[in-house]
Amino acid sequence: MSDQSKSLSILKDLGTAIVQSIDNEEFPTLKFPGRGTGNLVYDEESKQFVLGNTQVIRDSSNLRHIKSFTQLVWVASYAKQLLQAGRTSSLRDLYYSSEAFGVEFSDQAESDRTVTDLECLTGIAREAFGVFPEERSSIYGQVTMRYTVAGYEGRDVDLTLSPDGLPIGPALVTADPVESNAELILAVESGGIFSRLIETRAWERFNAVLIHLGGQPPRATRQLIRRLHDDLDLPVYVFTDGDPWGMHIARVISTGSANAAHIQGLTTPDAEWIGVTADDITKYSLPSEPLNNADLKRLDELSRDVRYSDSMWQDYIRDFRQLQRKAEQQAFSRHGMDYVVDKYLPEKIH
């Protein structure tokens, strides 16, 4: 059975269960794993965090549940339409489509959450329904990919094709790497550093596939990192701002996000965070700012998060708390435009 028909049949079963329940004069209920960080457990087999046993129940007889229940069933029916028509849509597009069906979301965050609910409920990633986020990461490097999407099957694309990098969309994620000179993957948080690495031909020097994360990367990006890591056997280095948020970008790449813990194949367990660490701020005398309340609160949360339970990560957190300061990737500019390429990265990438 193809992925598509499997998805369709899962959705059909969902509908049938609800219809039967109503026919039996019973209020339908839906049950799926909860996504709170408290419900994350480490799975040895897949080497990633997955959702534990805590279940969320949506009971349509509950006045407080009925709205989200309706939204969830609508998202399912919308996903089915996309699947049957072979179309893709964005999370934003889905949010705006809801109105035409008389379904109300208070904001896009609510409709995004509902899409994730459907994933948890059906065990199918939204990409399989053709729902992607609007924002795109970019990739640049010496790899040739072969498309598998309809209309482009068999066509190759060289990832150095554009000096701006290529956007990571559904087509690239499903493409297969066919040729590569790369020896490592270097994922960076900011667009400025990404451009700098392309311009200074650092990709050549390090034989690196460069990936622009742009904050917490979309799932497609994490999926592509995982595929390139697996298929080409490339080590992954993550280079972010020196603050709790940057640190967590790296951690999500290696252990997964709570929001997508129900999805397999997004994590790269041995991805390595090279910095900026609190240590680096001192060591490279980087211009820095004091941690604000939000930063400190975030550090507290992370220190209790199971994904940070090992001692190396607890040390990173402790270092930030002691230093009480943070720095951006761009802070290296103080030592000259190419300092980060000439000095910092060679020391970090072995």
Partner 1 sequence: MNQDNSLHGEFSSISPAEFFYRNRQMAGFGNPSQAVYSTVRELVENSIDACEEARRKPDVRVSIDEERSGIVRVTVSDNGTGVPYGEVPNAFARVLYGDKFTARQRRGTFGLGVTMAALYGQITTDSPVIVVTQTSHTTGRCYQLLIDIENNQPVVLSDESHEREGPGTEVTIRLKGDLNRSRERVYDYLQLTTVASPHARVELTINGSSIMRMGWWHQMLPEPTTASKPHPHGADLELLRRLVADAGERSLHSFLVESFQRIGTRTAMRFLKFLAINPRQAVNTLGRENLSRLSSALRSFDGLGRPDGKCLSPIGKDAFLASIESVFAPSALTYGNRGPTEWSGNAFIVEGVAAIGTGARGADVPTLYRFANRVPLLYDSGEDALTKMLKRVNWVQYGVRSTTPVSIFLHLCSTRIPFKATGKQSIASLPEIEHEVLSLLRELGRSLKKTLKRGERSVRDAQKKREFDKAMKQVAQFSAELAECDAIPSTTELVHRLFEVDHHV
Catalytic residues, which ones?
Answer: 96
Q: Does 115 bind partner 1 (CB under 8 A)?
A: no
Smallest gap, in angstroms, from Cβ of residue 321 to partner 1? 47
Nearer to partner 1, 63 or 312 (CB): 63
Q: Does 80 bind partner 1 (CB under 8 A)?
A: yes
Nearer to partner 1, 72 or 209 (CB): 72
Pick out residues in 157-216 that bind partner 1 (CB under 8 A): none
Nearer to partner 1, 40 or 103 (CB): 103
Nearer to partner 1, 59 or 135 (CB): 59
Sole binder of partner 1 in the list 15, 36, 38, 290 (CB under 8 A): 15
Sole binder of partner 1 in the list 5, 46, 61, 324 (CB under 8 A): 61
Sole binder of partner 1 in the list 3, 22, 199, 336 (CB under 8 A): 22
Instruction: Kindly give, in sequence order, each residue whose CB lies less than 8 Å from that of residue 73, ignoring residues fewer than 6 positions away.
Output: 15, 18
Binding part of the chain for partner 1, among 70-78, 138-146, 236-244, 267-275 by CB under 8 A, reads 70-78
Sole binder of partner 1 in the list 5, 46, 54, 77 (CB under 8 A): 77
Sole binder of partner 1 in the list 25, 45, 107, 153 (CB under 8 A): 25
Per-residue string for binding with partner 1, 285-304, x by CB under 8 A?
A: --------------------
Instruction: Kindly give, in sequence order, each residue whose CB lies less than 8 Å from that of residue 84, ignoring residues fewer than 6 positions away.
Output: 8
147-154 long-range contacts (CB < 8 A, ≥24 apart) are: 147/171, 147/172, 147/174, 147/175, 148/174, 148/175, 148/176, 149/174, 149/175, 150/86
Q: Does 67 bind partner 1 (CB under 8 A)?
A: yes
Measured distance CA(246)–CA(227) in Å, rounded: 23
Measured distance CA(342)–CA(349) in Å, rounded: 12
Nearer to partner 1, 65 or 146 (CB): 65
The Cβ of residue 141 has, within 10 Å, a number of other Cβ atoms equal to 27
Query: Is residue 138 within 8 Å of residue 211, measured between CB atoms?
Result: yes
Sole binder of partner 1 in the list 5, 16, 292, 309 (CB under 8 A): 16
Pick out residues in 259-288 that bind partner 1 (CB under 8 A): none
Nearer to partner 1, 83 or 252 (CB): 83
Q: Does 103 bind partner 1 (CB under 8 A)?
A: yes
Query: Is residue 339 within 8 Å of residue 200, measured between CB atoms?
Result: no
Q: Does 19 bind partner 1 (CB under 8 A)?
A: yes
Binding part of the chain for partner 1, among 62-70, 183-191, 219-227, 310-318 by CB under 8 A, reads 62-70
By CB under 8 A, name the binding residues for partner 1: 11-12, 14-16, 18-19, 22-23, 25-28, 60-61, 63, 66-67, 69-70, 73-74, 76-77, 80, 101-103
